[in-house]
Structure 1
């Protein structure tokens, strides 16, 4: 049995390793003829988040015996800590609100933020199938608020939200349905290491380690952690890769984007590493757009990770209010722009101090808070990441904002809302967008912002059937499917807000239907 070590593979880089794979068939992967399988299933799913769970459920619907594995002790990955908002173009709540949507408008929004790097055929699948996923989730018991909300980069409101404002509102019902199915097996603390192929190059199983313990203290858990008992599991119909992105893999992400230094925080859970992606690349999967890594422009420098104020900043302050530079008291961006545009603008604002800590202040009034789920604001106020003020003068004093230009900014913004047009930055302010809400009704709320690493747009290339594409043959790798953040092509340079759920749910569904 011949294998290439992970260290040597990564030293080669993707291009060199793939060239080797082309010259030496199936180099670096395990062959079934050399393997004694410990267990056998129809389908194996790697990952237990939105994409993996949806893929598992769809395969189970078809009568398949399915193994779903999770390397961490807790299932759900980043999906559990997701905000619970999902883009569903042309959904029932849009129609009830009189909002018109279309495939053309949806794709145009995605291409604008994605800088035309998106694979349009994949976007078309999401548009065509998002409502199927939405309706299926309701049958599992996922509860929605009935509202349609705005999200960064979308030209209209098209996102639905769970009642509990968390991805757990989706994951828990999905896992409950999986656990009740006699054909389903879920194994936690099970680390995927390698694919196993047959004599024709078809993926027929995986090598993994049971009783694996992720070690937060290691610089590179994928490379250094040797815990667990090796096992080989057979997958008669194939494997679905749904292991998420690599936001927490400092070394790997810095190879893609060197300026995202290892001291830049991420909102991802610590298990979001590159190991599964690297294994797919060893197999010959085509890696695309790995250098496009998205930052979250809503997170707070006073909190670790995602924190308690990000949803307030996004949906209350950015949607209905404004963001000001505390040095000038003036706005500096379109608060409803895409995440990359906003993150770049925030970094430029922060750089106006010697310590890079001129954090923007995001502001809204009570009407904006009332227009949203109270959970977005309540905990942040209680914990201090969101400040509450009786007057704008008190707010300005607390953040050392020059009062006169600040009050002029507020006055101008309220005029823009009244006139339904923002001549400075082009923020959408029509009645349909903000319902006449400006910054007029006390009390007033504020939070600070610094971008943190959020999402990896790149990954393995897939086609419209969720089959993984080989970099040398340009054909699907037999027996291998992928869905969610571990894939590339859907989002291009930057994804729209709430689009990760749409991507994961739709292509998880597609993978489970086709394998």
Structure 2
């Protein structure tokens, strides 16, 4: 199938208009009109179709494809103790943490507004978890071992340990900081409890004073708080060059609305510029599988181009050694799976559907032309509700992503509304017969009907000898109308980054650290490898919060030991 014919599969999906992502909620709530910019509209937060199967570039986008700049072009020099590159979750946690201990901080953000998406934040042993009796159900040694296994042994276990020890205290700090703006913390836990795949109860989610959940209002509030504390947040300031003297970074040169400005750092520079998922050369070089993704979601759209990685590599910084960077790839831009019958472009079942969203997304990429559908009947939503009630289903992108324990539980009305929306957008097709459904899906009639018949036989005997699906997750496809949802593997974040260790300093190819160049958040390497560990929903954002705060403190002259250890291995 050509890219053009592949586009035909997606063209009725309304992919550019239909995604309800937490990253698109509450955006811009605390920003001035100038900061929001004229392009802050619906399109800015929408996913976009990617080209499938593009070969890795022979000229990857590093060591540096950014516009070249030198000192002669600098029109102005501004000085601070710490320069933070990136006004996202990690960058703002770093900036506030540093200014609170007396540092003068400037944050450079290339876009017109801060970047934020999602809503889940992992932390271990927070005060919130203690108060609500959750901490006793968190088992750090088990989690550490599972994280190491998901990373295939290619992660820095000292970084994992530091995260486990300090994330709870960092969450306490964030909770108290956001309370000043009327935010409330909560626990998301619709996690999957499959005995072979368990999502741990470690996920926090904030709501603003209007009840809007997600990280967009969180980061907006952090920008407001940072400004109140004296941080200078400069928007439309794209960092293009690091100035180095020996092993020390002395300045960042950025292109601003005023021209090229040199931001001199008396103490340190912190790279918190996010990931590189919108830089296809880097994606195809570091993670061929990720370059096959059907769609991408990021906010601001296409702004995560690996700028921080490139300017660090330009002065000798190294990327983590892991040859195939992990990526967050979920079933977010398309229809829901519900772990129902999955079929490919041939109309054939091809997998055990009782797996996590990450594995579903990556697995479908290797089917013919990346096409996969989730098929169910008129009772489908009732089956999904039953699995939720029996606690045999759930988890990321099975359960509802904005639910907070004790505040907003799983809702059939919400599920029906989403299905209606997906039907109107073309993400789900409906028919009164299996033959008609096959035609709407564009799969062979006879093979599809044969597949459904075989699946119903398996359901009847409650024994999946074809793929081994749990018997309690087997439901028939027999009552009209019949539904088929398009499954779209959606690239959210590339998790590989600049090589670092538990000092959070950028390392070179020989593992020698820069004196004062730090990295935090999605730009940070050595924390993830192999696959993204969905066993801790929100661990990517938890990493941003935790290492953002720690780098801010350490860069300002404090120690990680100044942050309380809430949980130990």
TM-score relative to the length of structure 2 = 0.66
Of residues 234, 244, 250, the one that matches 2:274 is 244
Paired residue secondary structure (2:366): helix
2:245 is aligned with 1:205: no
Paired residue secondary structure (1:176): helix
Q: Conserved in 1, the CA contact under 8 Å of 2:434 and 2:482?
A: no
* Structure 1 residue 44: Cα displacement: 1.0
2:321 is aligned with 1:285: no
Q: Conserved in 2, the CA contact under 8 Å of 1:241 and 1:481?
A: yes
* Equivalent residue runs for 1:448-459 within 5 Å: 448-459=486-497
* Structure 1 residue 345: Cα displacement: 2.0
2:205 is aligned with 1:150: no
* Structure 1 residue 332: Cα displacement: 0.8
Paired residue secondary structure (1:54): helix
Instruction: Tell me the residue number matched to 2:544.
Output: 504
- Alpha carbons of structure 1 residues 73 and 99: separation in structure 2 relative to 1, 3 Å: same
Instruction: Tell me the residue number matched to 1:493.
Output: 530
- Alpha carbons of structure 1 residues 368 and 98: separation in structure 2 relative to 1, 3 Å: farther
After superposition, the C-alpha distances for 1:303-344 in whole angstroms (9 at most, x for unaligned) are xxx54x46x45xxx25xx5644474564613543472x4344
For 2:352 and 2:267, the matched residues in 1 are separated by 50
Paired residue secondary structure (2:137): coil
2:99 is aligned with 1:60: yes
* Structure 1 residue 512: Cα displacement: 0.9
2:122 is aligned with 1:83: no
Q: Conserved in 2, the CA contact under 8 Å of 1:296 and 1:451?
A: no
Q: Conserved in 1, the CA contact under 8 Å of 2:120 and 2:188?
A: no
For 1:394 and 1:100, the matched residues in 2 are separated by 48
For 1:405 and 1:156, the matched residues in 2 are separated by 31
Instruction: Tell me the residue number matched to 1:121.
Output: 158
For 1:135 and 1:443, the matched residues in 2 are separated by 49
Identify unmatched segments of 5+ residues in structure 2: 1-57, 389-398, 404-410, 556-569
* Structure 1 residue 185: Cα displacement: 0.8
Q: Conserved in 2, the CA contact under 8 Å of 1:456 and 1:485?
A: yes
Q: What number of residue pairs does the alignment pair up?
A: 443
Instruction: Tell me the residue number matched to 2:232.
Output: 185
The worse-fitting range, judged by mean Cα deviation, of 287-296 and 439-448 is 439-448
- Alpha carbons of structure 1 residues 259 and 346: separation in structure 2 relative to 1, 3 Å: closer
Q: Conserved in 2, the CA contact under 8 Å of 1:396 and 1:403?
A: no
Identify unmatched segments of 5+ residues in structure 1: 1-9, 19-27, 212-227, 300-305, 431-435
After superposition, the C-alpha distances for 1:167-192 in whole angstroms (9 at most, x for unaligned) are 214222222322322x2111111010
Q: Conserved in 2, the CA contact under 8 Å of 1:293 and 1:458?
A: yes
The worse-fitting range, judged by mean Cα deviation, of 157-166 and 455-464 is 157-166
Of residues 209, 218, 223, the one that matches 1:170 is 218
After superposition, the C-alpha distances for 1:199-223 in whole angstroms (9 at most, x for unaligned) are x431222111112xxxxxxxxxxxx
Paired residue secondary structure (2:92): helix
Paired residue secondary structure (1:360): strand
After superposition, the C-alpha distances for 1:447-471 in whole angstroms (9 at most, x for unaligned) are 3113243322322111213122233
Paired residue secondary structure (2:296): coil
Instruction: Tell me the residue number matched to 1:3.
Output: none
Paired residue secondary structure (2:189): strand
After superposition, the C-alpha distances for 1:41-68 in whole angstroms (9 at most, x for unaligned) are 1111101111111111211221222111
* Structure 1 residue 475: Cα displacement: 3.1
| Cα RMSD (Å) | 4.2
Instruction: Tell me the residue number matched to 2:373.
Output: 360
Q: Conserved in 2, the CA contact under 8 Å of 1:238 and 1:479?
A: yes
* Structure 1 residue 122: Cα displacement: 0.9
- Alpha carbons of structure 1 residues 324 and 245: separation in structure 2 relative to 1, 3 Å: same
2:302 is aligned with 1:270: yes
